[in-house]
Structure 1
Amino acid sequence: MRHGQLCRQRRLRRIVIPLAVAIFILLGFLYSSEPYRNEKTGLEPQLGRTAHTSSSTTSERTLLRNITEAHSPTKPIVLPILVIVCDRPSVVRTLKALLHLRNEWKKEDCIRFPITVSQGCDHRETADILGTYGEQISIIRFTDNSSLPKEEYNLKKLAYRSIAHHYKFALNYMFFVRNHSAVIVVEDDLDIAPDFLEYFAATLSLLEADQQLFCVSAWNDNGRPHLINLERNDLIYRTDFFPGLGWMLIRQFWLEIYKGWPDIYWDEYLRKPYVRQNRSCLRPELGRTTTFGRVGVSSGQYFEEYLRTMHLNQVPYDFMKADLSYLREPSYTRQWIEQVYKNVQHISLPDLLNNHLPDPGPDISLHVTYNSLNEFIRIAQHLNLMFDVKSGVLRTAFMGVVPAYWKHRQLFIAPPQNWTTYNVSWV
């Protein structure tokens, strides 16, 4: 069921159920009143009538209570947002955006978004800023008291290690202490799109129902303007590459993976084949997050070349009212194969690299085949795609296929159609 439909049903219940209860009470009152009962039977002794009325009233109250409890409006879904913070006072930028969206949210009767901030560094300026938010947010604090690593780490690796420990602490708290069923994870350096909450609220039911999914992400690794269709703010893809940077997971997945949580590089852990187990994530065509964190642990490994120009969607799309059934399996994979291999115009690698492309048309999609990692890298460098590979999986790939919107044409960069699995030796 779409969450939009769920919201409408809950609003209807809030009207219908009180009305039904009121009618029930009125009928009970009329039935138990003396004139009505005497007119109806006229045969009961006074004592009998009194005893029967008292018993009837008690019975009716019990029945009424049972009906009310059984059919009371469903409680709102609680979809918490966990903000991971260290030593960035600029987290105020992320929190301001989240609080603004939450204040503008009109569906509190269906889904609510409490915000928990987990601070993992003893940074006074950041802590003071968080303290100014009062009851708008909840704050937890992480202190890394773990023993020294077995191998020698430089300062950068030690920072990555502490981040991995912080994530485990914060997610354990959300799932085991607060007992949440799903969590949206947000880093402290993200800008947020105006339909960020809509996007996650609408995809929650897909993530909960589909065992072939393990996350929903707001991030598109190739989400720069020259690689995306700026008119398709409605479009969502499945991807085999864990994107992160504003993502949602459910309790069931955390129960599965938390015991194997790594000492360092937590995001690489989620990309391992034995963790992913052929499952995918959902991600948007137009990103619902971008990062402003040029200064940080990764010190902008890709920031200037890739991240600085990422597009953040600014035109809200009402995902809650949208039909997202196209994302369900097995129909998604069947349609994907049709799109990528059959309903396309095939072009050669040399033609693509030399920009010898057919004239654009509304229904024309292009397909170029790569047969090796080297060929894919040549294509990626030509289009300025991110071309690093993690556990054999290309960024944004689904079934080995990387989609892009290139020179006003949908382009599928695909392996041969007999492709079966990712090559983990591609690193």
Structure 2
Amino acid sequence: MTGAERVLNSTPSPEAIPVLMITHKRAAYLQRALASLFRYRPSQEQYPIIASQDGDDASVRSLLQKYLTSGELARHLRFSPKKFLPSGYERLCSHYAWAFSQLFDVLGFEQAIVLEEDLEISPDFFSYFQATWPLLRADPELFCISAWNDNGKAEIASNATAVYRSDFFPGLGWMLLRSFWMEVKGLWPTQYWDDFLRRPEIRRKRQCLRPELSRTHTFGEQGVSKGQFYKTHLAGNLLNSKQLDWSAVSLAHVATRANFEAYLTQQVKSAKLLPLEDSGKLLDAAVAFRYDDKQWKSVAQRFGLMEDEKAGVRRGSFRGVVPFSWHRRPAFLVESWPLVRSEP
């Protein structure tokens, strides 16, 4: 019996962190995603991989059966909705709810990492989650840990150890607790589950942690969203390529909201404030640029940041501040000076 099988055949340890792989019918994508997980996973027992397949694609089913037989995959779940769902978004949303219910309500896990079949991971993906997971458990003002930075392109992301709190839910490789699922499952929407998690009444002024350099990379241009944003923003996002021991990285600045507010305020105040028209200057120092709501889209385009927002929150932001790297130096777009914007 493998370590993963022992986890599933008994009451799971509170320390077990299953990796939920959401899959449908892209077998080649799935094989690439699973190969990445198998390569870097430090322990089958702590990180059992559970695949949840929507439908009955034969290639996907055969691939998962192969990994079940080898013991690399802990379980193959099969989602088959009881009623017709007319759109891919509705089907995906329903699949997520069903899979979460299997993990938390049926199998009894206390937390999980969520991936989709078009995501591969960095060498330090598991180390990152192992280090940040205690913060999620300890702080009621966090509701997720994400491995993804929406603004993670090479020109604007360079610090491999930088982690921020964000008012925006990033997704694309993330951890949640069973307690959060219990809170939201009765409110689960019929479609657009990710935007649901960005609603103010769901987020309730809580944040997610996210890195500057992404620990996941999406290679799936074709899918439910039909490639929205892919070529412009997603394909160029960097995947951290080096093994980093996150147990040696201090995360005290993001451990609580108060810590992070103090940290970010100090960082912004100590940065050199420049007018936007001087953004091309090369400085050997952190820089900050002020903007207002009316300027946002043009400012985002100037730096290559994603310009959309959800429920009034910009991607990667915390109280109107968007941290990123500019010419490999810390940079901050600041709506109010210093941090005086009311919480979103």
TM score, norm. by length of structure 2: 0.91
Q: C-alpha deviations, 1:378-400, integer Å up to 9, x for none?
A: 11111111111111110000111
Does residue 336 of the first structure (1) align with residue 264 of the second (2)? yes
Partners of 1:421 and 1:209 lie apart in 2 by 21
Q: C-alpha deviations, 1:219-240, integer Å up to 9, x for none?
A: 01011111112xx312211111
Q: Unaligned regions of 5+ residues in structure 2, if any?
A: 1-12
* Residue of structure 1 equivalent to 2:7: none
| 112, 119, 124: which one aligns with 1:183 | 112
Matching residue's letter, 1:131: Q
| 122, 129, 134: which one aligns with 2:56 | 122
- RMSD of aligned alpha carbons: 1.6
Q: CA offset at residue 376 of structure 1?
A: 1.4
Q: Secondary structure at the match of 1:249?
A: strand
Matching residue's letter, 2:292: N
Partners of 1:323 and 1:304 lie apart in 2 by 34
* Residue of structure 1 equivalent to 2:283: 360
Q: Report the identity percentage.
A: 38
Q: CA offset at residue 408 of structure 1?
A: 3.0
Q: CA offset at residue 371 of structure 1?
A: 1.4
Q: C-alpha deviations, 1:186-230, integer Å up to 9, x for none?
A: 11000110111111111110000011100000001011111112x
| 324, 330, 334: which one aligns with 1:414 | 334
| 201, 206, 216: which one aligns with 1:279 | 206
Q: Is the 8 A contact 1:360 1:408 kept in 2?
A: no
Does residue 81 of the first structure (1) align with residue 81 of the second (2)? no
Q: Is the 8 A contact 2:218 2:234 kept in 1?
A: yes
Q: Secondary structure at the match of 1:225?
A: coil
Partners of 2:112 and 2:126 lie apart in 1 by 12
Q: CA offset at residue 121 of structure 1?
A: 2.1
Partners of 1:184 and 1:395 lie apart in 2 by 21
Q: CA offset at residue 76 of structure 1?
A: 7.8
| 263, 270, 276: which one aligns with 2:197 | 270
| 78, 103, 122: which one aligns with 1:193 | 122
Between structure 1 and structure 2, the one with the greater Rg is 1
Q: Unaligned regions of 5+ residues in structure 1, if any?
A: 1-74, 423-427
Q: Secondary structure at the match of 2:165?
A: strand
TM score, norm. by length of structure 1: 0.74
Does residue 210 of the first structure (1) align with residue 148 of the second (2)? no
Partners of 1:101 and 1:411 lie apart in 2 by 32
Q: CA offset at residue 147 of structure 1?
A: 5.6
Q: Label 1:147 to 1:296 Cα distance change in 2 as closer, same or farther (>3 A).
A: closer
Q: CA offset at residue 328 of structure 1?
A: 1.5
Partners of 2:98 and 2:203 lie apart in 1 by 21
Q: CA offset at residue 129 of structure 1?
A: 1.3
Q: Secondary structure at the match of 2:130?
A: helix
Greater RCO, 1 or 2 (C-alpha within 8 Å, sep 6+): 2
Q: CA offset at residue 136 of structure 1?
A: 2.1
Q: CA offset at residue 282 of structure 1?
A: 0.6
Q: Label 1:120 to 1:399 Cα distance change in 2 as closer, same or farther (>3 A).
A: same
Query: Where is the helix percentage greater, Structure 1 or Structure 2?
Result: 1
Matching residue's letter, 2:199: K
Q: Is the 8 A contact 2:319 2:343 kept in 1?
A: yes
* Residue of structure 2 equivalent to 1:136: 72
